Structure 1
Amino acid sequence: MGSERLGEMLDIGEETIKKSCSLALKAHKSPGDPFLVENSAAGSSDVVISFPAGTWTVGSLFCGESDFGEAKVDLELFPSLKSVGNYDPAKPEEIDFAIATINQAFVDKVKQILDNSQLKIKVQEAITAKKRIIFTGHSTGGAIAAFVTIWFLENCSKEISGSFFCVTFGSPLIGDHIISHALRRENWSENFIHFVMRYDIVPRILLAPLSSIRQEFEKILPFFDPSSSEYMSQSIGSSQAALDLFTKVMSSASSVASSAASKLMGSPNLLLETVTKFINLSPYKPFGTYIFCTGNGKLVVLKNPEAVLQLLFFTCQLNNDTERATIASKCLNQHLGYYDELEGSLDMQSVTCDDNLEMLNLASDGIFDDLGLSARARQCVRAAGVFQKQKQENKVKFDLKKGKMEEEMKNLRAYQGSNEDNGGYYDAFKLQEVRRDFEANVSRLELAAIWDEITEMLKKYDLPDEFEAISDWVKLGTEFRHLVEPLDIANFYRHGKGKETGVYMKRGRPKRYKYTQRWLEHEKKLPVGSRGESCFWAELEELHALSDNLQAVNNEKKRVLDLQEQVGKWIVDGVLSKDVLKSPTFQAWWSKLPVGLKTETISGLINGAGNMQVG
C-alpha cells in the first residue's frame, strides 16, 4: 500500500477532476442536451465533455427481456471487446464465452449520441488543438461516457489514445469481465477513472435482477430525476422503498461477491454452488481505476477489478442495527453528493492505493478501516490480490521458458534448412525416413507442450490480460506457428487422422495455432482468419486427395482457385516462402490440375522460380 497525491497517481489534475464532477452534475440537470462541453481550469489543456443521465425510467438501465438488461456486444461497434484467442467466429457456440456482455440500454443511447456529428466535430477540434479530452458523466451519464470513450479509443491511432480519459461519478456497471480484460490488453484501462461513494446504491444497482427490485426502483426514480417535483425529496430518501431497495440490491451483491470470492480462493463453496444454480447472478463486473470515497475525506484507490467487486459489496455492510435508520437516505443522498465530497477529499489529499493487496493485513491496520472492512472482507480483497499476482507469476514462468523454446525452434530451423534442396521439410517430415526427422518430431512435441499450456491458461484467463498483445509474445507465437504448424499438418495426414477426426481445419487444428494467428491479426488490425499461411498445407492436402477424380476437382473449382490466389498473395507479401512451390506435394497436385484451373499468379511464380519440373 502507498500514499501520494491523487493527481500524480492518475495523471489527471485535481482541478480537472473537480471540473469534470461539476460539469457531470450540470449535465445531470440538463437531460435535454446530448452533451455539454467546457474547457478545464485556466492554463489546462483539457477539454471536458459531459453526458447527461437522460430520462429516469426503468428502461434507462434495463431494456429487453433480460433480467439484467444485458446483451452481447456488437463487435462492429466495439471490435476490441473480446478475448482475442478465445474468439472463434467459426464456432458460434463459443462466442458467448469470448465476447463482452454489455448493458444494451446504455449502448442504444451511445449509438444515438454517435449519430450526432457535433460530438465528433468537437472531439476533432480538440485533437487538432492537441488538447486532452475528458469524457465524464454522473450516474448513467457516466456509463454513456465510458462507452463513448471506448468507441473513440477503438477509432483513433495509438499515438493519440492517451488523449482520451473517462472520469465517472456514481456510474452503474456497464458490462462483464471481458471489458476489463480487453481494456487491459489494449493498454486502455488507465484511461478510466470511477468515483464511488461508500453507500451510493447506483454503482451497485445492476448487481440485482430487475425482477427482484422493480417495485422499489420505480418508487425511488423520481428522487434522482431533476425534472420531477419529487427530486431529492426527503420523503423518498427516507422511505421504506429506499431501504428495501438497498436491502435487495445488497443481497444480490452478496451472492455475486461470494461466488467470485469462492473462485478466487480456489475452494468452491458447495452450498453456494447449489444456491447459484437457482439464482441468476449478474454478469456485470468493474473495470479501470476505482476511487472509493469513505465519507470522512479519505480516498481509497483500487485498480484490481476483482478487489473492486468485493468492495462494492463489503463497503456497504452495516455495523449495527441502528445504522438501518439512516442507510435509506444515505444510499440515495450520496448519489447526488459527489461534488461536496470530492471538494473536501481532494483538499485533504489522504489517498491510499492498492500496490500489494496480496499482503493486506487481515487485522485492522488503518488502510481500509475507513471503509469498515471486516476480517472476511479483507480476506476476499487479499485473495483478489493473490489472484492478480498469480497471473503475473504464470507469465514469468513462461518468460523463463523462452530460452528452451528458442533452442527447439533453432533445431527446427536447421532441420528446415537441411531439406531445402530436396523439396522442403514438409514432405521430408511426412515421410519420416531418417533420424533427423525423428529429432525434429521431438522438438515439435516439446514446443507443442509449452504452447498448449499457454493456451489453456489463456482460456481460463490465468495469464495477465495484456499477454496476448505483448509484442515479443506475438512475434514468438508467429514464428512458432510458421515453423511448426506445417509439421503438425504433415503428421496429421501421414497418419491419416482425417478419417477419424475429419478435416484438419475443422476438427484437427490445435488451439495453439488458432490463438497465435489471432494475436497477429489483432495486432495488425486484419480480418479474423486472414493470416492462415501456416496452414495452407491442410487445404492443399484435401484438394490433392481429389486429384484422381476430375469431376470432384471441377466441383471444387472455387476452392482450387481461392487457394492459388491466397498462396500467391502470401508469397508476394513475403509471409510465405516461394520454396513451398518446390514441394513434391504441391507439384503433384499442380501437375494434375486441369489447365483451366491453373491461375496466372501461380504460373508466374513457378516460371520465375527456376529449375522446377512441373506439369
Structure 2
Amino acid sequence: MNHLSLFSSGLEVADLLLTSGLLHSSWDAILDTQKQFYPFDTTTTLLPSVKCKVHNYPPNGSIIAFVSSPQSTVHHFQTQGRDLISSQELKVAFNLFDFIGTKVNPFFSIQKTAVLVFSSILDELTLLRNQIGNSSPLIITGHDLGGSIASLFTLWILDTILPSSSSKRPICITFGSPLLGDIYFQKAISERPTWNSSFFHVVSNKDLVPHLFISQTNVTSGSSTSLNIAYRPFGTYFLCSELGCACFEEPDSILELLVTSMGSNFALHQPNSLQIADYGMILEHLVCRSICRGVSLVDNSITNLQAGIVIHLKAIGVETQGNGGGLNSLTATTAERARKTLTQKNSIFDPNEKLTNRKIDLTYLEWYIKMSEDQGGYYDNYKNKQPGTREQIKSREQIIKRHRALTQYWKRMVTEVEKMPQKEGANFRLRWLYGGTNYRRMVEPLDIADYYKKGLKDYVAHGRSQHYVMLEKWLNEDKPVEGAKVRNYACSLTEDSCFWAHVEEAILSCRSMGLDMQLSREKLIMFERYVMNLIRNFAVSPEIFLPKSSFMQWWEEYNVIVGSSYESALCDFMRNHYRSYA
C-alpha cells in the first residue's frame, strides 16, 4: 500500500462534528452547569472541585457535563498539580481504574489531581452511573479539569459494557482538557479501538490548559529519555485556530502539534494574565467560516495523503513549508504517522467479518470426514496421502488450503484474545469457544498426521502449537463444575484433539518393546487406561474403530504382543464390545 491509495479524513470528521450539533450541545450544557455552580470565578491553591449536572438530549438521551472553576484549576496545575500517580498506587490507595491495564500494558500512570478529585466525589459518581442506565445516546462532556473527570467517568462506564452487549457506548467530548495520563495509559486505551474511538478532545491553539503538562522534552518519537513520565494524548483531537479546524488521531502528531502551538502562546509565560478560551465563540466562528480545501495551495508533486495533511495543518494555523519551500519536517513526519495509522486500520483483525469464511472452510473438512470412511477414517486418509484419482487429488489440495486458512485465523484470534484485559478476554473467548473447539478437534489431527509422517516423536511435548494449548485451556476453564450433562452416545469428533498423537506414540511403544520392555509396557498400560476412560465417557468418535484406522492397527499389534490370556478393561472391550460402540 502506498501514499496514493491513502487519504486522511481529518477535515471531514471535523466538519461532521461541527454540523452534527454535538459540540454545540455539549458546550451549552457546560455553560449551563458552570453558571449554576461557579457563577463567580475565584483563584485558590486548594484542590479544585468539580461539579456535574445531567441535561436532557432529545429524543431520549442525556448529556452529563462536568465543570470546575477555570482560574482555580489553572492556578493549581501551574503551582502543584503536574504529578502522576501510578496504577500500583491507585490500586492500593483508591482501588480505582485497575481495569484500564491490559496484558500488554499492565502498568500506567494518571494525572494525580484528576484522581484525587474523582475519588472525592466517588459516591456521587457511583449514584450517577447507576441512574443513567441505558440512556441512548449518552454524551459525557467537560471543560478543563472537568474534561479530565469526564474522561475517567467515561472509562468507568465503558468497563461495565461487555463486548457482546448491544448497549451503545457513550461519547466523551472534552473542551480544553489537560493531558490525562502517560504513554502506557494511552496505549492501554488504544488497545481497545471501541474505547479509543469514544473520545473527542476539542483544543484551541490559544487555550492554555491543554498545554500545561507538555514541554519540548515530552515531544517524542522515541527520543525522550523520560517516556515513562511523559503525558500522552489518546482518542481523537479536534484542533482549531482562527483559520479553521481538523481532526487528528496519531498520538505523537497530536503531542507535537500541541507543543508547536504552545511555542507561540504568550500566555504560557504570563501566569498572572491567564486567559480561558471561550469555546462557544470558537465554535460559532468555525461554523461560519468556510474551510478551504483547494489543492492549488499544494505542490503537485506531493502525494494525496501528504496534500491532505498539508491542508489539515494549514487549517489549524501550523506552518507546513521549510526554508527551501518544500515540506518541513513536522509536515512530513505527520504524514508518515498518518500513513502508518491508516495502514494499521486496514489490517485490523475483525473476527466477525472473517468467521463466515472460516465456517465454509469447516464445511469442507466435514465433507472430507464423510468421504474418508473407506480409507480408515479422516486421520488416516489424510496421513497416508494416497495418490487416488484426479478428483481426489484436487479435493486433498482443497483440504490443505482450508487447513491453512483456518489455522491462520485461529492463531490470530488466540493472539488477539491473549492481549485483551482479563474481563474482555474472558467474555470474548466464551463467545467464540464453540467454534474454536470444533476447529481444534477437526484440524489438529491433520497437524499430528503431518508431524508423524516426518518420522518425528512426542508431538504433545515438542510439536504442538501454542494456540491449540490455549483453546483447550480456555475450554477446560469454562466447563461447568457441577450439573454438566453426562454423554450417553458417541461424539462425532473425538474430544481430545491429541488422541491420534497418543495412538502414534502407542504404536512406537509396541515396536520398541525389544529395546526397553519395562518402559514400553508402562506407556502402553497408561495408553490403555487413557483410551478406556474416553470410551466410558463416549468421548471418542466411532471412526477410530474403522478397519484401516491407525488405532485398529495399534490394537492388532498390541493384541499379538500381550496374547489372548492377557486381561484388561480395554482388551475385553476390543475383543467383545467395540462393534456396538456407535
**CA distance in 2: counterparts of 1:108 and 1:446, whole angstroms:** 54
Give the direction of change, closer, same or farther, for the CA distance of 1:363–1:442 in structure 2 (3 Å limit): closer
Give the direction of change, closer, same or farther, for the CA distance of 1:380–1:407 in structure 2 (3 Å limit): same
- Checking the alignment, whether the CA contact within 8 Å between 1:69 and 1:105 is kept in structure 2 is no
Partner of 1:359: 305
Per-residue CA deviation, residues 487-525 of structure 1 (Å, 9 max, x unaligned), is 1133234445455x8725xx63065x689x69xx8xxxx
**CA distance in 2: counterparts of 1:383 and 1:316, whole angstroms:** 19
TM-score normalised by structure 2 residue count: 0.59
Question: Does residue 418 of structure 1 match 2:365?
Answer: no
**CA distance in 1: counterparts of 2:210 and 2:527, whole angstroms:** 56
Match of 1:197 among 187, 201, 204: 204
Match of 2:218 among 252, 258, 267: 252
Partner of 1:152: 157
**CA distance in 1: counterparts of 2:258 and 2:169, whole angstroms:** 33
Partner of 2:465: 509
Match of 1:78 among 76, 99, 112: 99
- Checking the alignment, whether the CA contact within 8 Å between 2:189 and 2:234 is kept in structure 1 is yes
Structure 1: 5+ residue runs without aligned partners?
Answer: 83-94, 207-245, 260-274, 572-576
- Checking the alignment, whether the CA contact within 8 Å between 1:292 and 1:301 is kept in structure 2 is yes
Question: Does residue 142 of structure 1 match 2:108?
Answer: no
What SS class does the counterpart of residue 159 from structure 2 fall into?
helix
**1:310: how far off?**
0.9
**CA distance in 1: counterparts of 2:206 and 2:415, whole angstroms:** 33
Instruction: Map 1:456-535 onto structure 2 (within 5 A).
Output: 483-495=442-454, 497=456, 499=458, 503=461, 508-509=464-465
- Checking the alignment, whether the CA contact within 8 Å between 1:315 and 1:371 is kept in structure 2 is no
Per-residue CA deviation, residues 151-178 of structure 1 (Å, 9 max, x unaligned), is 3223235666325222223131435464
Match of 1:387 among 314, 317, 340: 340
Per-residue CA deviation, residues 263-289 of structure 1 (Å, 9 max, x unaligned), is xxxxxxxxxxxx66x664668654332
**CA distance in 2: counterparts of 1:113 and 1:483, whole angstroms:** 51
- Checking the alignment, whether the CA contact within 8 Å between 2:202 and 2:237 is kept in structure 1 is yes
Instruction: Map 1:202-601 onto structure 2 (within 5 A).
Output: 203=210, 249-253=215-219, 255-256=220-221, 259=222, 280=227, 285-294=232-241, 296=242, 298-302=244-248, 305-306=249-250, 308-317=251-260, 323=264, 327-329=268-270, 333=274, 337-338=276-277, 340-346=278-284, 348-349=286-287, 350=289, 359-361=305-307, 365=311, 368-374=314-320, 375=327, 376-391=329-344, 394=347, 412-420=365-373, 424-433=377-386, 435=388, 442-443=397-398, 446-447=401-402, 483-495=442-454, 497=456, 499=458, 503=461, 508-509=464-465, 536-538=496-498, 541=501, 545=505
**CA distance in 2: counterparts of 1:540 and 1:564, whole angstroms:** 13
Per-residue CA deviation, residues 335-357 of structure 1 (Å, 9 max, x unaligned), is xx24x134432454148699x99
Give the direction of change, closer, same or farther, for the CA distance of 1:24–1:412 in structure 2 (3 Å limit): farther
Paired positions, count:
484
**1:250: how far off?**
1.8
Question: Does residue 39 of structure 1 match 2:58?
Answer: no
What SS class does the counterpart of residue 237 from structure 2 fall into?
strand
Structure possessing the higher radius of gyration over alpha carbons: 2
Deviates more, 1:434-443 or 1:364-373: 434-443
- Checking the alignment, whether the CA contact within 8 Å between 1:318 and 1:324 is kept in structure 2 is yes
Give the direction of change, closer, same or farther, for the CA distance of 1:119–1:597 in structure 2 (3 Å limit): farther
**CA distance in 2: counterparts of 1:60 and 1:534, whole angstroms:** 60
**1:202: how far off?**
5.7
Tell me the C-alpha RMSD between the 2 structures: 6.4
What SS class does the counterpart of residue 307 from structure 2 fall into?
coil
Give the direction of change, closer, same or farther, for the CA distance of 1:580–1:77 in structure 2 (3 Å limit): farther
**1:48: how far off?**
0.8
TM-score normalised by structure 1 residue count: 0.56
Q: Please tell me the residue identity of whatever aligns with 2:283.
A: S
Partner of 2:27: 17
Match of 1:102 among 105, 108, 126: 108
**1:419: how far off?**
1.7
**CA distance in 2: counterparts of 1:487 and 1:419, whole angstroms:** 13
**CA distance in 2: counterparts of 1:69 and 1:353, whole angstroms:** 47
What SS class does the counterpart of residue 316 from structure 2 fall into?
helix
- Checking the alignment, whether the CA contact within 8 Å between 1:7 and 1:14 is kept in structure 2 is no
Q: Please tell me the residue identity of whatever aligns with 2:217.
A: S
**CA distance in 2: counterparts of 1:181 and 1:112, whole angstroms:** 22
Instruction: Map 1:53-132 onto structure 2 (within 5 A).
Output: 61-64=83-86, 77-78=98-99, 82=102, 95=103, 98-99=104-105, 101-103=107-109, 109=115, 113=119, 116=122, 118-127=124-133, 130=135, 132=137
What SS class does the counterpart of residue 158 from structure 2 fall into?
helix
- Checking the alignment, whether the CA contact within 8 Å between 1:134 and 1:164 is kept in structure 2 is yes
What SS class does the counterpart of residue 148 from structure 1 fall into?
helix
The percent of aligned pairs where both chains have the same amino acid is 15
Structure 2: 5+ residue runs without aligned partners?
Answer: 1-10, 296-302, 321-326, 481-492, 510-518, 560-566
**1:45: how far off?**
3.5
Q: Please tell me the residue identity of whatever aligns with 1:344.
A: I
**CA distance in 2: counterparts of 1:153 and 1:551, whole angstroms:** 55
Question: Does residue 165 of structure 1 match 2:181?
Answer: no
Per-residue CA deviation, residues 47-72 of structure 1 (Å, 9 max, x unaligned), is 41537689868687423599x9999x
What SS class does the counterpart of residue 368 from structure 1 fall into?
helix
Q: Please tell me the residue identity of whatever aligns with 1:537.
A: S
Q: Please tell me the residue identity of whatever aligns with 2:269.
A: A
Question: Does residue 611 of structure 1 match 2:557?
Answer: no
- Checking the alignment, whether the CA contact within 8 Å between 2:114 and 2:149 is kept in structure 1 is no
Partner of 2:563: none
**CA distance in 1: counterparts of 2:502 and 2:450, whole angstroms:** 14
**CA distance in 2: counterparts of 1:204 and 1:610, whole angstroms:** 78
**CA distance in 2: counterparts of 1:353 and 1:479, whole angstroms:** 56
What SS class does the counterpart of residue 390 from structure 1 fall into?
helix
**1:377: how far off?**
2.4
**1:529: how far off?**
8.1
- Checking the alignment, whether the CA contact within 8 Å between 2:197 and 2:235 is kept in structure 1 is yes
**CA distance in 1: counterparts of 2:498 and 2:406, whole angstroms:** 20
Give the direction of change, closer, same or farther, for the CA distance of 1:485–1:20 in structure 2 (3 Å limit): farther
Partner of 2:515: none
Give the direction of change, closer, same or farther, for the CA distance of 1:369–1:111 in structure 2 (3 Å limit): closer
Give the direction of change, closer, same or farther, for the CA distance of 1:163–1:394 in structure 2 (3 Å limit): closer
Q: Please tell me the residue identity of whatever aligns with 1:368.
A: K
